[in-house]
């Protein structure tokens, strides 16, 4: 029976439970509701993790940990968000400016391979790759005399942000709880034993190391490991002896680890880091040989904090040991219960702003089994859990004052992660923040804004050195040092719109809040990005307007052996938005400078979007789509105009919207994790909820979702989690073209449900419910006296929020 809170009225509830006393009815109902809500917002497993993609993540924005839940050995794989390779460096290539005119000439002449060869030699960054994000290493708790448990549960409660492992043995029960506290800037793990059970273990450290990815890491299998043998239940015991160059000191009840980061691509390491672990226990504790050993304990609390010498992208002069000692002093004397209480309150202040109900979860199934089952059976509650998990991950990996969420959020097992776990800004970083505003987590965008401010500083030097241009530019990747020059090779990296896309992302963030304080920070960024394009755009030799050159349509090769080209559709669309949004911000701020006239003139000369001979939405200036070698390429860059932009839509440009559908059908539904999520967003924006839902099922199934619900690119990239969450919300409520569109792409698989606290552009917050795929209730909150056009089932009505700032639809 589907859970439907809107169908269960007071009369039917009392009728179903009339035999119970009223007080007992209330108590039973509250207990059952609390238990159901708790399970609805939990990832649950009946076995320890063996692979990293089965472990459960916790994070406070700055520190992250993956917990495995082993019985013989618990592993805390740790990260700190500033621990990257290298040090501040300048990769700008001074040879680029002289080569630029010839590269453009070769592109205009159709000599694309020659242009690529010259660009490879003269226009790429030095070094050619950026710095990778790394791990902090592992803490191991290796337990004394473990035995296979009688009962076992491992879970992650999203609402409280607490990971819990519980198992029973012959002599009692062991309970472990862990969380990453933002207020206290530490990770806390508490263990308790009941009956005659006692806790004994050695705490040791293994330093950062290179990880060799196994075939299983590239497969989205959620079937896990066969735990039929007792030894498998204990968890594999790793040898933690190798500190990989870090110095480990055990003194009293503390373990201190200090080390240095590594070099990469010829850039020397410059960061130092410190990790401090402290144990409070009622058992016996001995510090010896770089380990802490605990015996005979009923209760153990482990506190862990870490820091690096990173201060800013151009300053690595911090004292990490002093930082971690100061944090630990602040936590000393606080009970685990007190730390937990503050942590939960802090997390729930963000998490509880939003809720979603799409129906009841199937009973008795662990999360990994639900992922496998979802391919063949509908599980709307899994989509709701996936969305809430994405919100949890965003809170855990992006907090004010931290680094933005990178390709893996903050969770990374090795020193050489896939794609360096950098900031890939030709979609992946932007996608990380697609759900932030609609999911009522605007505060998590602050790190992205700060990164763009820093990137604009580095990018101004890149614009001047490599293009002879004013303003600032960034290409398809950046790192913690805010490198802005093109990397990897021209066919991927020589794309000048990364900074511009970040600016349009931040403007759309402002559209949700309408906070005037944000504009003072936004305008210099957008003005500088627009200024670069005023200098860098060139006339298309065939008279089709202003275009970027050289560029690529990320990361798709055209029919002439490379991706290098001029004026791809995505560039024209991003620059069009950038010019429009810069003008809009200037108007909001009351600015009237000559530059705005220049922007308007250049905007009018940008080449428009085109429909190709096969009815497709054209990717390049030339009609090359049918000849491109990768017809199902993962990127659908030309469709930026549809989502996250709104330049092309079903209301204003129906012919172009039909061409978009032709392109999407050619590209196919299943791609890499993030690309699959983008396709779901696009079909939802086009109003086809059933098609979007079919794609979402593929995203949530075992090919694209790991057992711990991390997105399987493969391997793991977190952008698919965030893009999938955005798609779910886009199916339920859309906010574009100055209108609200409730249930604009609601799939048949979600006939009844509710959402509370979803945000919309214009500073609006919406609560809505639906029954039998029809809107039941809708409350809109926003600025007093705001007029809100609402389009529902083809009709548009304007809702007046009046003085209260609150109104119901229909009124």
Angle at 141 between CA 140 and CA 147, to 5 degrees: 125
Token duo for residue 351: 């998490």
* H-only helix segments in 91-229: 96-108, 112-122
The rounded distance, in Å, linking the Cα atoms of 289 and 248 is: 9
- Mapped onto helix, strand or coil, the DSSP state of residue 286 is strand
The rounded distance, in Å, linking the Cα atoms of 307 and 21 is: 56
662 close to 339: Cβ distance less than 8 angstroms: no
Which of the four pLDDT bands, split at 50, 70 and 90, describes residue 810? Answer: confident
- Look-up of token digits 């290098």: 564
Which of the four pLDDT bands, split at 50, 70 and 90, describes residue 696? Answer: very high
Q: What is the CATH number of domain 96-126+377-737?
A: 1.50.10.10
In the predicted model, is pLDDT for residue 258 greater than 70? yes
pLDDT in tens, 497-538: 999 999 999 999 999 999 999 999 999 999 999 999 999 999
Contacts of 196 (CB under 8 A, 6+ apart): 171, 172
Which of the four pLDDT bands, split at 50, 70 and 90, describes residue 16? Answer: very low
Contacts of 760 (CB under 8 A, 6+ apart): 438, 512, 733, 735, 740, 766
Contacts of 748 (CB under 8 A, 6+ apart): 689, 690, 693, 773
Q: How far is CA 7 from the centre of its chain?
A: 35
In the predicted model, is pLDDT for residue 34 greater than 50? no
In the predicted model, is pLDDT for residue 124 greater than 80? yes
The rounded distance, in Å, linking the Cα atoms of 633 and 719 is: 17
The tally of CA atoms less than 13 A away on the side-chain side of residue 679 is 30
User: Of the candidates 70, 68, 39, which has an alpha carbon nearest to the alpha carbon of residue 364?
Assistant: 39
On average, the pLDDT of the chain sits at 92
pLDDT attached to residue 224: 46
Dihedral sign computed on CA atoms, order 555, 696, 157, 281: negative
pLDDT in tens, 544-587: 999 999 999 999 999 999 999 999 999 999 999 999 999 999 99
pLDDT in tens, 313-324: 999 999 999 999
Where are the chain's structural domains?
10-39, 46-84+131-212+238-352, 96-126+377-737, 749-811
Which residues in 342-410 belong to E strands, given as ranges?
A: 355-357
Of all residues in the chain, what percent carry a pLDDT higher than 90?
Answer: 89
pLDDT in tens, 326-353: 999 999 999 999 999 999 999 999 999 9
User: Of the candidates 414, 368, 383, 306, which has an alpha carbon nearest to the alpha carbon of residue 60?
Assistant: 306
Which of the four pLDDT bands, split at 50, 70 and 90, describes residue 169? Answer: confident
Angle at 381 between CA 377 and CA 384, to 5 degrees: 130
Give the number of other CB atoms < 10 A from CB of residue 308: 23
In the predicted model, is pLDDT for residue 779 greater than 90? yes
299 close to 281: Cβ distance less than 8 angstroms: yes
Q: What is the CATH number of domain 46-84+131-212+238-352?
A: 2.70.98.50
pLDDT attached to residue 216: 52
pLDDT attached to residue 232: 63
472 close to 533: Cβ distance less than 8 angstroms: no
The rounded distance, in Å, linking the Cα atoms of 256 and 248 is: 6
pLDDT in tens, 727-757: 999 999 999 999 999 999 999 999 999 999 9
pLDDT attached to residue 234: 73
Which of the four pLDDT bands, split at 50, 70 and 90, describes residue 28? Answer: very low
In the predicted model, is pLDDT for residue 214 greater than 80? no
pLDDT attached to residue 37: 67
pLDDT in tens, 589-616: 999 999 999 999 999 999 999 999 999 9
Angle at 592 between CA 587 and CA 593, to 5 degrees: 130
pLDDT in tens, 96-114: 999 999 999 999 999 999 9
Q: What is the DSSP string of 662-690?
A: HHHHHH-S--SHHHHHHHHHHHHHTT-HH
The rounded distance, in Å, linking the Cα atoms of 798 and 811 is: 10
Bridge pairing between strands 753-760 and 795-800: unpaired
Strand partners, 582: none
The rounded distance, in Å, linking the Cα atoms of 484 and 125 is: 9
Token duo for residue 141: 């708790």
Token duo for residue 223: 């079937």
Token duo for residue 3: 């859970």
């Amino acid at each position: 029976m589907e859970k439907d809170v809107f169908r269960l009225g007071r009369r039917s509830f009392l009728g179903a439970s009339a035999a119970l006393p009223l007080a007992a009815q209330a108590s039973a109902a509250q207990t059952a509701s609390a238990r159901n809500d708790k399970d609805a917002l939990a990832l649950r497993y009946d076995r320890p993790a063996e692979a990293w993609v089965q472990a459960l993540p916790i994070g406070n924005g700055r520190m992250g940990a993956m917990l495995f839940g082993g019985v013989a050995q618990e592993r805390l794989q740790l990260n700190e968000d500033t621990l990257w390779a290298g040090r501040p460096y300048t990769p700008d290539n001074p040879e680029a400016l002289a080569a630029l005119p010839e590269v453009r000439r070769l592109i205009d002449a159709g000599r694309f391979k020659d242009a690529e060869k010259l660009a490879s030699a003269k226009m790429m960054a030095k070094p050619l790759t950026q710095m990778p994000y790394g791990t902090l290493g592992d803490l191991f708790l290796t337990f004394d005399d473990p035995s296979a448990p009688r009962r076992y549960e491992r879970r992650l409660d999203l609402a409280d942000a607490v990971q819990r492992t519980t198992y029973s043995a012959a002599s009692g029960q062991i309970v472990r709880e862990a969380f990453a506290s933002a207020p206290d800037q530490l990770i806390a793990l508490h263990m308790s034993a009941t009956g005659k059970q006692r806790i004994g273990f050695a705490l040791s450290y293994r330093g950062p190391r290179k990880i060799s990815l196994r075939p299983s890491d590239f497969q989205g299998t959620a079937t896990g490991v066969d735990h039929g043998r007792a030894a498998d239940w204990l968890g594999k015991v790793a040898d933690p002896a190798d500190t990989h160059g870090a110095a480990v000191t055990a003194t009293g009840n503390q373990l201190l680890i200090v080390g240095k980061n590594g070099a990469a691509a010829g850039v020397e390491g410059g960061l130092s880091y410190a990790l401090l672990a402290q144990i409070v226990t009622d058992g016996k504790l001995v510090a010896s040989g770089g380990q802490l050993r605990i015996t005979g304990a009923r209760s153990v609390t482990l506190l862990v904090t870490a820091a690096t010498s990173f201060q800013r992208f151009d300053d690595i002069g911090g004292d990490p040991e002093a930082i971690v000692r100061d944090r630990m002093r602040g936590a000393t004397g606080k009970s685990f219960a007190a730390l937990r209480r503050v942590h939960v309150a802090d997390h729930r202040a963000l998490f509880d702003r939003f809720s979603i109900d799409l129906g009841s979860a199937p009973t008795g199934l662990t999360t990994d089994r639900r992922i496998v089952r979802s391919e063949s059976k509908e599980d709307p509650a899994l989509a709701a859990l996936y969305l809430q998990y994405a919100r949890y991950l965003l809170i855990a990996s992006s907090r004010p004052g931290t680094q933005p969420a990178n390709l893996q959020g903050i969770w990374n097992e090795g020193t050489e992660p896939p794609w360096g776990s950098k900031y890939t800004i030709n979609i992946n970083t932007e996608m990380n923040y697609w759900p932030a505003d609609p999911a009522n987590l605007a505060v998590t965008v602050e790190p992205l804004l700060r990164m763009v401010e820093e990137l604009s500083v580095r990018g101004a030097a890149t614009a001047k050195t490599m293009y002879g241009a004013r303003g600032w530019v960034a290409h398809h990747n950046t790192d913690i040092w805010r490198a802005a020059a093109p990397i990897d090779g021209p066919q991927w990296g020589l794309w000048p719109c990364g900074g511009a896309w970040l600016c349009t992302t931040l403007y759309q963030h402002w559209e949700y809040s309408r906070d005037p304080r944000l504009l003072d920070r936004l305008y210099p960024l957008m003005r500088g990005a627009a200024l670069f394009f005023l200098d860098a755009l060139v006339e298309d030799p065939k008279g089709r307007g202003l275009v970027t050159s050289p560029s690529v349509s990320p990361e798709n090769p055209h029919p002439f052996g490379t991706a290098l080209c001029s004026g791809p559709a995505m560039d024209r669309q991003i620059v069009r938005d950038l010019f429009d949004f810069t003008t809009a911000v200037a108007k909001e701020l009351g600015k009237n400078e000559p530059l705005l006239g220049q922007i308007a003139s250049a905007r009018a000369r940008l080449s428009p979007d085109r429909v190709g001979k096969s009815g497709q939405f054209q990717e390049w200036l030339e009609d090359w789509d049918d000849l491109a070698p990768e017809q199902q390429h993962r990127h659908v860059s030309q469709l930026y105009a549809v989502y996250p932009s709104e330049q092309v839509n079903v209301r204003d440009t129906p012919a172009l919207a039909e061409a978009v559908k032709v392109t999407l059908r050619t590209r196919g539904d299943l791609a890499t994790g993030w690309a699959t999520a983008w396709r779901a967003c696009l079909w939802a924006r086009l109003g086809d909820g059933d098609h979007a839902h079919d794609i979402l099922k593929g995203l949530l199934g075992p090919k694209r979702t790991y057992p711990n619900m991390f997105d399987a690119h493969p391997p793991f990239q977190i952008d698919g989690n965030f893009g999938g969450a955005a798609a779910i919300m886009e199916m339920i409520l859309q906010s574009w073209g100055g209108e609200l569109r409730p249930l604009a792409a609601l799939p048949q698989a979600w006939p009844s449900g509710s959402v509370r606290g979803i945000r919309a552009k214009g500073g609006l917050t919406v609560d809505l419910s639906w029954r039998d795929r029809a809107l039941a209730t809708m409350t809109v909150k926003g600025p007093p006296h705001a007029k809100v056009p609402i389009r529902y089932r083809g009709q548009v009505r304007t809702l007046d929020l009046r003085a209260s700032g609150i109104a119901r639809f229909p009124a």
